[in-house]
Structure 1
Amino acid sequence: MPDTEQLPLQPVAAAPAVNPHIVPLVIISPVRDEAKYLRRTLDSVVAQTYRPIEWIVVDDGSVDATPDIVREYAAKYPFIRLLPRQDRGFRKLGGGVIAAFNFGKEHIQHSEYQYIAKLDGDMSFGPLYLERMFQRLQIDPKLAAVSGKVYRDEDGRYIEETHIDEQVAGQFKLYKRKAFEDIGGFVQHLSWDGIDVHSAWMKGWKTFSFYDPQAWLWHHRIMGSSDKHIYEGRLRWGRAMWYMGYHPLYAIAAGINRMREKPVFIGGLLMIFGFFWCWVRRQPSYDNMEFRRYLRQWQMTRLKNTLLGKK
């Protein structure tokens, strides 16, 4: 991890890239009531030195100015397209987000695309972000997906949303199309952004998130706080661990590890509670038994290595 004192300033509204390199990438952004943050995301993409051939912004029932903002940008930049989706009446995280993503995927116009990405509407990043991602993808033919590291500004301090290097940020998942189709796309459930990565590993692919001063991702809200409040978000995280098939010991370890993050202590405790609440209630879980065996074996190996001080 880099010294936080050396982190760059957050990206601000940048001028559109001059003669950007167009890449066969389709970005799909499921959004709902993102008017507060969406301009930052839009400005970040239009300023890229590498620009997608198509960016579908799926409006998943917004009641604020979100669709108007997208229309404003789409009028200036033809590669941006607003795709309204029928309002279900509430924000449904996880499965709802992926349902909206899949709705956008069904309406892709450039069928020759070679890369596909899911991008949230509360992110910003510098103009070289996509260029750096494609440099990484082109180096390794077995690299399925990449991202930069994710940070947020908290009281003037840069806080990293910690993930292992093999875990690609869920806020901006950039996949090679071949790899994405190989894993069957995203699962419509809360744990979609963990299942996809482990599914890729099972099939011999690699995934990677890396430190690069030109490729930070800035998240403008605390992860898991987009619906109701952060406490519900941590309970939801526990339910996602259950669905995904976590080993109970690893679920406890994950909760303890997150106790240092806001909300301090209680957040990790809620994750553990959410997991075991699902266990007691015998809630449904991911029905791919091969995947669950693989996941638990990986988790116990990682937990053992951590306890032994190995990387």
Structure 2
Amino acid sequence: MSGCDLKPSQPPSILVISPVRDEARFIEAAIDSLSAQTIRPTAWVIVNDGSSDDTAAIARSRAAETDFIHVVDKPDRGHRQVGSGVIEAFNYGLAAAPVSDWDFIVKLDADITYGPRYIERMLAEFAADEKLAAVSGRVYRPEPGGDVEERKSPDMVCGPFKFYRRAAFEAIGGFEQTLQWDGIDIHRARMTGWRTRNISDPDARIHHHRLMGSSQVSIVHGRLRWGRGIHFMGYHPAYAVASGVYRMRDWPYVVGGLLIIAGYFSAAARGAERYPDPAFRADLRRWQRRQLAGLPRALLRAGLRRGSKRRGP
């Protein structure tokens, strides 16, 4: 069976997969969030990817009292590997999943929480748009002054909660086991005629309990890695600069954006590896050039809207 749409006669089958490594601080709250959903998943596979803390023990304890949680142990590679390692663990969980006839698939991080109607809201979006490949709510992340909304373009889907329709997931070939997989999937969806988006809704808020792009080493390391990642993906240089400038409003202010730009151009200067699909990179750059061409008009519209609000009715 390759069901990929909502079935009116029965609830959809939802497969959730969570690669986890040393998430003991967060996983209990993550389990509470998913267990409290008004629409629960059919199965949740938690992949213990070499944890050295109590992550696996906590997950197993909760699995014993929750019928849809399944914990599997992946052989330890000996270190945390962002990017390709996450998808290696995700694919391990997919192969071990107790259900194969799922309609929707979710890649879920263990360091986020969200309200009880989150899945319900995502399914409503899928039901309203048959060409919607993936959807998410918006992410609120910790910064020194408190939680702030993570700014994303309307067509981006947050990496910590990737919610895909089966037909679209299969059309893009699943998540690629590579650096910058979270981004490659979105543009592949565009290329294959699907739509993606995030929605602003109080019931769809995601609270990310780690600072985005900080890495397990430091915020500086994470921002430089971000720049190297977008170089690998094939970003146009002008779009890379625009992305860095855009991120200057995020913590650490100004410096973080400069580090992204520095990471991109340092990778370019040394001829670092690129994503090995020239057609994908060329199409991505065409799309980015169109976005840049429309930027002055978008900024003007935004300025006019702000001016209208200041003047009042």
TM-score by length of structure 2 reads: 0.90
Q: Is the 8 A contact 1:234 1:267 kept in 2?
A: yes
1:22 positional shift? 5.6
Q: Is the 8 A contact 1:152 1:221 kept in 2?
A: yes
What amino acid is the match of 1:94? G
CA RMSD of aligned residues (A): 1.4
Gaps of 5+ in 2: 1-9, 302-313
Q: Is the 8 A contact 1:23 1:50 kept in 2?
A: no
Partner of 1:187: 176
Which segments of structure 1 move beyond 4 Å, counting only runs of 4 or more? none
Equivalent pairs counted in the alignment come to 291
1:160 positional shift? 0.8
Partner of 1:170: 159
Aligned to 1:238, what secondary structure does the other structure show? helix
What amino acid is the match of 1:177? R
Which of 227, 230, 235 is equivalent to 2:216? 227
Partner of 2:80: 91
Partner of 1:63: 52
Partner of 1:12: none
User: C-alpha deviations, 1:174-213, integer Å up to 9, x for none?
Assistant: 0011100100111222311111001001100000100011
Which of 93, 98, 102 is equivalent to 1:109? 98
What amino acid is the match of 1:56? V
What amino acid is the match of 1:187? E
**Structure with the larger helix share:** 2
In the alignment, does 2:205 pair up with 1:213? Answer: no
Partner of 2:247: 258
Aligned to 2:32, what secondary structure does the other structure show? helix
Gaps of 5+ in 1: 1-20
In the alignment, does 2:130 pair up with 1:151? Answer: no
TM-score by length of structure 1 reads: 0.91
In the alignment, does 2:42 pair up with 1:38? Answer: no
Give the distance between the partners of 1:33 and 1:167, measured in 2 at CA: 27
Q: Is the 8 A contact 2:22 2:53 kept in 1?
A: yes
Give the distance between the partners of 2:169 and 2:11, measured in 1 at CA: 21
User: C-alpha deviations, 1:21-54, integer Å up to 9, x for none?
Assistant: 9630100000100011111110000000111111
Larger Cα-atom Rg: 2
1:153 positional shift? 4.1
Aligned to 1:23, what secondary structure does the other structure show? coil
Give the distance between the partners of 2:158 and 2:43, measured in 1 at CA: 21
